[in-house]
Amino acid sequence: MLRWVRQQLGFDPPHQSDTRTIYIANRFPQHGHYVPQKFADNRIISSKYTVWNFVPKNLFEQFRRVANFYFLIIFLVQLMIDTPTSPITSGLPLFFVITVTAIKQGYEDWLRHKADNEVNGAPVYVVRSGGLVKTRSKNIRVGDIVRVAKDETFPVDLVLLSSDRVDGSCHVTTASLDGETNLKTHVAVPETAVLQSVANLDKLVAVIECQQPEADLYRFVGRITISQQMEEIVRPLGPESLLLRGARLKNTKEIFGVAVYTGMETKMALNYKSKSQKRSAVEKSMNSFLIIYLIILLFEAILSTILKYAWQAEEKWDEPWYNEKTEHERNSSKILRFISDFLAFLVLYNFIIPISLYVTVEMQKFLGSFFIGWDLDLYHEETNQRAQVNTSDLNEELGQVEYVFTDKTGTLTENEMQFRECSINGIKYQEVNGKLTPEGFSEDSPDGNRHSLMKEEELFLKAVCLCHTVQINADQTDGADGPWHANGIASPLEYYASSPDEKALVEAASRVGVVFTGTSGDTMEVKSLGKPERYKLLHVLEFDPNRRRMSVIVESPSGEKLLFTKGAESSILPRSKSGEIDKTRIHVDEFALKGLRTLCVAYRRFTPEEYQEIGKRLREARTALQQREERLADVFNFIERDLELLGATGVEDKLQEKIQETIEALRLAGIKVWVLTGDKHETAVSVSLSCGHFHRTMNILELVQHKSDSTCAEQLRQLAKRIKEDHVIQHGLVVDGTSLSLALREHEKLFMEVCKNCSAVLCCRMAPLQKAKVVRLLKTSPEKPITLAIGDGANDVSMIQEAHVGIGIMGKEGRQAVRNSDYAIARFKFLSKLLFVHGHFYYIRIATLVQYFFYKNVCFITPQFLYQFFCLFSQQTLYDSVYLTLYNICFTSLPVLIYSLFEQHVHPHVLQSKPVLYRDISKNAHLGFKPFLYWTILGFFHAFVFFYGSYLLMGEDTSLLRNGQMFGNWTFGTLVFTVMVITVTMKMALETHFWTWINHFVTWGSIVFYFIFSLFYGGIIWPFLHTQDMYFVFVQLLSSGSAWFAIILIVVACLFLDVVKKVLYRHLQPTSTEKAQMYSNRVALSDEFIALQPLSRARNQLSKIRWKKIRVQSAQHVTLLKAGTEGRTIGNC
């Protein structure tokens, strides 16, 4: 129980040993000296709070805010000393703010807990007591034997014990971890591979010793000791034996493995960045403004205290006859009296700090976030997914993004390769209805309608079908008895490939007549137009990034030894001595210009003597203990020469829809895009070119394959020099993971200089934590840019959590990224609408809200300060305490809240079609020092007009009623307050561009409510009030024509200059946004933006559309089918 409590509080002690000992099936030694090691349970936690720490942790975070902490101090001061106002005036709003914020943040964290519980409660099967037991994922313990079936994800990090295959192998895809979709083969040790039944596994007696958990996905060091027939067999364990949590089992019916790392100690979880409270730039600006206003407050309080004692230096004012001091007051310490008076003034002026600002901001963010989910343009019909908001605290940050860091696989691409074209023997071919058709021929032409393949075509397709690492679904047979197509080909097989390119090529070959039907031992079988042929696989020359090619040596059915090679054109064409080399080079360039991924294919025939020579060399190199890699490279180069070129292929990596347009729009908006991927160098560059991240005219610089600090530094200096010399053209930078580690170690400044001078940066072969380091590098640079990270897999979680704004793509690689993101969208193309429209609106709304709050509180409290000059600094309040409490809560709160929810200063269509408008709000432009100074000076100006205008018009002549009755100080204070409420409300109306019936209702309704409330409050004697200062005051004030004249005159005087300024600036020096506003007035409202309108207007417009059919999907979703907008969903509207 104690350990559980410590885990809940986050104080679980670290491991004491460098290694961990795991007894399989938890069969611990029976001797009494063994003390079991303590391991974490298998729960995944992405939430910030627990039941135990929610209250203290949330209170700590809230009181980090300057305003909250300040009002807590003021509340305590009011409790301790006699102050002009009641403690309720500070304590009640503070309690309301803290409670509302805690409820909001608690609700958001509850959603995270709910998502975690779905994962932790997933059903799994564990071997216990001689049988398979169904339990929940969170109940798995280290040492448990777990069964995982095909297409299931691994619930923990497992050491593979056995599979349904005799050799104990299985195939795994780690796309959700490192972005690679190729299948990886994992193998069990021979002694456990034969244990394929639960009964046999239950008898296994073995111990695993391995390293403690670490984040490196590709490193695992351990050993397994198996007790068999009174002897112990020790086998090494490496990464090929470890199955990682989050990876998925493919092409294997089932496996059994033993849990070695669980829960937050799995490699997937260790690559998560710890969850921290993200704070927006607007919130930081608010805290800065609050500090400035706190200084103004302290200045006013100190000045008032000094002036009070300066005034009381005269004896007649120190103790007037109508206010004699008590004996205790005469004998009290002057220092204590000074401090007490200073604190009393502090309480009197404390409303200059807007306590309700934070709660209004919280409500605006929470309610405003629903518009993202309701936006029809962010709804993906194919997957029935709409945008999702996990953290509403960062809405305005969407309008401040300067860098976008994006994953490649599943984020920019659909991860679906499609064969497009090929070149065979100098002739270009396309696939037409399952046939290879030469370019320029149609299926109907004499040469286009063929049922056989030419010799060169067949050899080319056989090379494609033999030179690869493709595997076939074990559930499928070779199709010999299956249905045949018209051209004699069996029904399609399900292929699993080491790369998407290979899979696309093998599938294309099968469609046009040459089918790879599988391997059996060292034999590869191919069917050419239904005729089976068996090739013996002799050697595989593996792909490596230096050679940029791979080869196989096979023995044909006739006994001939053949080498088939495929790779990048730069590595194949120079090694070819025959074939249509020049024509193929031209075709490869044409394919590349179309954005296709290209590979060249060649072959070589060996004489028996040549084959004996290369076989000898290969054996010597592969058994060498010293310099094995260098010797193998030399042998591979010796073999792969004198090639005969067969042709080239062009494969399209299918990009997501509107990727190029989205990236170009981001570039126009002044946002730099970095692609961070775990994929290969060549693949990543090809996709960057296809999606428009790199332009064809861009100068591509490379920082790759460096293994020492010196070479990396030298290359960086050369790149910096080259950029400086060629400053006119655009540059793109490609950097790989190992070079990046070296660059960040000692040359961080130089690396950043190179990156910032590049228009686009591509980082390949990146580990998950490296992605987070790159984001952190930009975040902490001197410019402190706002960063956004977007990805779809578990390998993107770290950078999503590190960036200021994290966005998850609801893709095919699980939900880890979505669960840990701030926002989730279905496709990358939705990013433009999210930033340019929603981000723009949210930032403008909240920037105006913050400035307006400070403005209206300066208007509110400055007359109180000026009033002290007329009452001998006696701390007499100008306003009634009820007015003090309700000014920010009731009288002036709703107009600005509604403005901050519905304001659209520019039409959404204009914002999206003109991304350059996004630059106008970048760098926190609307919350800089100049706008802040303007609003503050405006507040002081209006406050002086309120006070002195009322004083000049009514202060000297107080007998304005027909019966000669005089006005008092409460009437004067009420007049100032009335003018102030009307003026600040009208000022909000002047700032509003987009009027709805809700805006009209709350704007004019707030003024009407103030009048009704004041008449009601002052017209009745309230028995629970200890004073009745305001009785009939407001009625008397409104019964005076002079008072009405003063109210109108002062309001007009305040707002007239503001109106003149707006008109002059708009016509003489209009900004690009103001020009867009004039343009947007001419843009007709389209149904595409209905979701951004207030909900009532959206419903109203939707009701006018003729719907062909209404189909209720569930209680919460109604699918509305209409011509042109089929299947659009409005959820929870």
Does the pLDDT at position 404 exceed 90?
Answer: yes
pLDDT at 795: 75
The residue that leads in pLDDT, 630 or 805, is: 805
Determine contact, residues 561/567, Cβ cutoff 8 Å: no
pLDDT at 320: 62
pLDDT level of residue 179 (50, 70, 90 thresholds): low
Determine contact, residues 681/928, Cβ cutoff 8 Å: no
pLDDT at 623: 62
Report how far Cα 744 is from the mean position of its chain's Cα atoms. 24
Quote the CA–CA distance of 55 and 1050 in Å, as a whole number: 48
Planar angle of CA 520, 615, 619, nearest 5 degrees: 90
The residue that leads in pLDDT, 713 or 1086, is: 713
State what percent of residues in the chain have pLDDT above 70: 82
Mean pLDDT to the nearest integer, 1103-1119: 33
Which amino acid makes up residue 813?
Answer: E
pLDDT level of residue 838 (50, 70, 90 thresholds): very high
Does the pLDDT at position 982 exceed 90?
Answer: yes
Find the range with the poorest average confidence among 231-240, 727-736, 1067-1076, 1108-1117: 1108-1117
Does the pLDDT at position 1092 exceed 70?
Answer: no
Determine contact, residues 1088/1098, Cβ cutoff 8 Å: no
Sort 1064 into a burial class: Cβ within 10 Å, 0-12 / 13-18 / 19+.
exposed
Task: Using only the alpha carbons of the chain, give its radius of gyration.
Answer: 37
Quote the CA–CA distance of 358 and 986 in Å, as a whole number: 22
pLDDT level of residue 180 (50, 70, 90 thresholds): low
Mean pLDDT to the nearest integer, 144-167: 90
Find the range with the poorest average confidence among 520-524, 572-576, 880-884: 520-524
Does the pLDDT at position 906 exceed 60?
Answer: yes
607: left (phi over 0), alpha (psi -120 to 50) or beta: beta
Q: Which residues contact 865 (CB under 8 A, 6 or more apart)?
A: 300, 304, 349
Residue whose entry in the numeric block shows the structure tokens 């469609």: 511
pLDDT level of residue 654 (50, 70, 90 thresholds): confident
Q: Using one digit for the tens of pLDDT, what is the confidence trace for 533-586?
A: 889 888 888 777 677 788 999 988 888 889 999 988 878 888 888 888 888 888
Instruction: Report which listed range, 400-404, 767-771, 1016-1020, is most confident.
Output: 400-404
Which amino acid makes up residue 218?
Answer: Y
**Rounded to the nearest 5°, which phi and psi values hold at 356?**
-75, -5
Instruction: Report which listed range, 95-99, 405-409, 759-763, is most confident.
Output: 759-763
State what percent of residues in the chain have pLDDT above 90: 15
Does the pLDDT at position 1005 exceed 90?
Answer: yes
Choice among 407, 501, 736, 796 that is catalytic: 407
Residue 1093 CA neighbour count, 13 Å, CB half = 17
Order of strands, sheet of 19-23, starting from the edge strand that comes earlier in the sequence = 19-23, 206-211, 222-228, 231-237
Quote the CA–CA distance of 46 and 808 in Å, as a whole number: 14
Q: Which residues contact 919 (CB under 8 A, 6 or more apart)?
A: 669, 670
Instruction: Report which listed range, 767-771, 967-971, 1074-1078, is most confident.
Output: 767-771
Q: Using one digit for the tens of pLDDT, what is the confidence trace for 939-951?
A: 999 999 999 988 8
pLDDT at 840: 92
Does the pLDDT at position 690 exceed 60?
Answer: yes
pLDDT level of residue 1131 (50, 70, 90 thresholds): very low
Mean pLDDT to the nearest integer, 34-38: 73
Sort 252 into a burial class: Cβ within 10 Å, 0-12 / 13-18 / 19+.
buried
Quote the CA–CA distance of 802 and 777 in Å, as a whole number: 10
Is 407 among the catalytic positions? yes
| Token pair of 618 as six digits | 């290969």
Does the pLDDT at position 4 exceed 60?
Answer: no
Beta bridge partners of 189: none
Q: What is the 3-state secondary structure (H, E, C) of 869-930?
A: HHCCCCCCCCCCHHHHHHHHHHHCHHHHHHHHHHCCCCCHHHHHHCHHHHHHHHHHHHHCHH
Residue 133 CA neighbour count, 13 Å, CB half = 14
Instruction: Report which listed range, 35-44, 385-394, 978-987, 1086-1095, is most confident.
Output: 978-987
DSSP H or E run through 83: none
Q: Which among 40, 41, 58, 56 has a CA at the least distance from the CA of 109?
A: 58
Mean pLDDT to the nearest integer, 887-901: 89
The residue that leads in pLDDT, 418 or 682, is: 418
pLDDT at 1098: 41
| Token pair of 228 as six digits | 């068999």
Mean pLDDT to the nearest integer, 1007-1025: 78
pLDDT at 146: 93
pLDDT at 743: 84
pLDDT level of residue 345 (50, 70, 90 thresholds): confident
pLDDT level of residue 319 (50, 70, 90 thresholds): low
pLDDT at 340: 81
The residue that leads in pLDDT, 885 or 892, is: 892
Report CA dihedral (542, 543, 547, 553) to the nearest 10 degrees. 40
Hey, is 1122 helix, strand or coil? coil
The residue that leads in pLDDT, 1001 or 580, is: 1001
pLDDT at 989: 93
Quote the CA–CA distance of 793 and 785 in Å, as a whole number: 25
| Token pair of 1020 as six digits | 């009745």
Compute the mean pLDDT over every residue in the chain, rounded to the nearest whole number: 79
pLDDT level of residue 1111 (50, 70, 90 thresholds): very low
- Neighbouring C-beta atoms of residue 922, cutoff 10 Å: 17
**9, 173, 256, 312, 380 from 497: Cα distances, Å:** 45, 10, 23, 91, 29
DSSP secondary structure, 442-494, as one string: -TTSTTTS-SS--HHHHHHHHHHHHSS--EE-TT----TTS-B-TTS-BSPP-
Determine contact, residues 860/887, Cβ cutoff 8 Å: yes
**142, 200, 750, 914 from 30: Cα distances, Å:** 19, 22, 60, 74
pLDDT at 986: 94
The whole model's pTM is what? Answer: 0.70
pLDDT at 1095: 42
**Rounded to the nearest 5°, which phi and psi values hold at 780?**
-95, 5
Find the range with the poorest average confidence among 90-104, 658-672, 798-812: 90-104
Q: Which among 495, 564, 562, 486 has a CA at the least distance from the CA of 530?
A: 486
Quote the CA–CA distance of 190 and 160 in Å, as a whole number: 11
**18, 174, 679, 795, 932 from 268: Cα distances, Å:** 20, 11, 18, 8, 45
